[in-house]
Structure 1
Amino acid sequence: MNLSSYTKAFALMLSVGLVAGCSTTGENTDDGMGGGSDVQAIDQNGGSTVYGGDSQGGVSATEMTDEEKQAAAEKAKQAALRDVTTFYFDFDTSEIKPEAREVLVAHARYLADHPNQNVRLEGHSDERGTKEYNLALGERRANAVKQFLIVNGASRGQIETVSYGEEKPAVMGSNESAWAQNRRVELIYK
């Protein structure tokens, strides 16, 4: 037998040993000598327990109160809302759309809860109008979002605004679809 055959045989034996060592019979191997696991995957009530099979110090899903579950669900919803960071505007206006308000409230609450977090609001417009007008329109849009965030709990010191006007389009094109995607404020956490 050459070295390659020995290597293959060793690898095969190692694989068989791993499979045999990792398999279980489903029997309880705790013989009272402390050799069993201290983690119970599912308790008798159907809830899962993490760290410790007994009720001492473990965290169980069945022990969450309805209020805690509701608070956790609300926190998850707020986090999901904060995933939206681009807010669109109608032609030639800086009025925040109603569908953006709930999302902006979630951002304002996050900023209020995290006073060391800063955000930059970048205002944009479509290509119609003069460069000067579009810069001013982008600034009005960014300031409208800023004011909304402040009214809903964010601090002025956390928010910076900048206007790019028509200079940084999200979509190239000279049609309503492209223009609609370019009339926006982007919220960027720093």
Structure 2
Amino acid sequence: MSKLSNILLACTALIAVSGCAKKRPAVLPPAPVDNSGSVDPNAGMNNGNVGGAIVPGSDADFQRSVSSNTVNFALDMYDIDPTARAILDSQAQWLAKFPNQRITIEGHADERGTREYNLALGDRRANATKNYLAARGVSSSRMTTISYGKERPVAMGSDDQSWAANRRAVTVVLN
């Protein structure tokens, strides 16, 4: 009876430990949108540059016209500070001039924290940005959000300056 009890105890322990194994997500976030303004010969689209001239209403026009397409955030925060308000106000003004343009707001985080935490934080940052723009009169039906978490850093260092640059929300005009 003692041998049977030991075998059952060992089997129970193996089942309990195997249930704690971390599984990889089946799908990773999609690749980032190309904001460079370069011509993509496969897509037949050029992000707003035609013969060297910037097309009004394009992503290139957006980047040229607004104070920035990027809002930065403090560590573990997703609130819109006064600097972010000024940037988003300029974006809202541009979007009011082009009411048919759709945008995607990308949420990002620095490399610290788990993948799941950073995806959730990037989502909160993107949605805070979307909500601010909606409060400024931009229709929410024109805006989509996506979180890349820590998967798409703009700065590759492991220091305060790099981490600060990676805590952001980026507005991209869809052409």
More contact order relative to length (CA 8 Å, sep ≥ 6): 2
CA distance in 2, matches of 1:103, 1:144: 14
* Structure in which a larger fraction of residues adopt helix: 1
- Residue 79 and residue 179 in structure 1: after superposition, are their counterparts in 2 closer, same or farther (change >3 A)? closer
CA distance in 1, matches of 2:65, 2:164: 21
Contact 1:131/1:166, CA 8 A, preserved across alignment: yes
Query: Which of 1 and 2 has greater Rg?
Result: 1
CA distance in 2, matches of 1:157, 1:135: 22
Q: Which amino acid counterpart does residue 127 of structure 2 have in structure 1?
A: N
Query: Where do 1:70-109 residues align within 5 Å?
Result: 82-109=66-93
Aligned residue in 2 for 1:173: 157
Moved beyond 4 Å, runs of 4+: 78-81
- Residue 177 and residue 79 in structure 1: after superposition, are their counterparts in 2 closer, same or farther (change >3 A)? closer
Give the count of matched residue pairs: 113
| 1:182 corresponds to which of 159, 162, 166 | 166
* 2:131 equivalent to 1:134: no
Aligned residue in 1 for 2:96: 112
Q: Which amino acid counterpart does residue 119 of structure 2 have in structure 1?
A: L
CA distance in 2, matches of 1:83, 1:89: 16
Q: Which amino acid counterpart does residue 162 of structure 1 have in structure 2?
A: I
Return the offset for 1:113: 3.1
Aligned residue in 2 for 1:11: none
Structure 2: any 5+ residue segments left out of the alignment?
1-61
Return the offset for 1:79: 8.7
Identity among equivalent positions (%) equals: 46
Structure 1: any 5+ residue segments left out of the alignment?
1-77
Q: Compute the TM-score of the two structures, normalised by the length of structure 1.
A: 0.56
Query: Where do 1:150-169 residues align within 5 Å?
Result: 150-169=134-153
Return the offset for 1:156: 0.6
Q: Compute the TM-score of the two structures, normalised by the length of structure 2.
A: 0.61
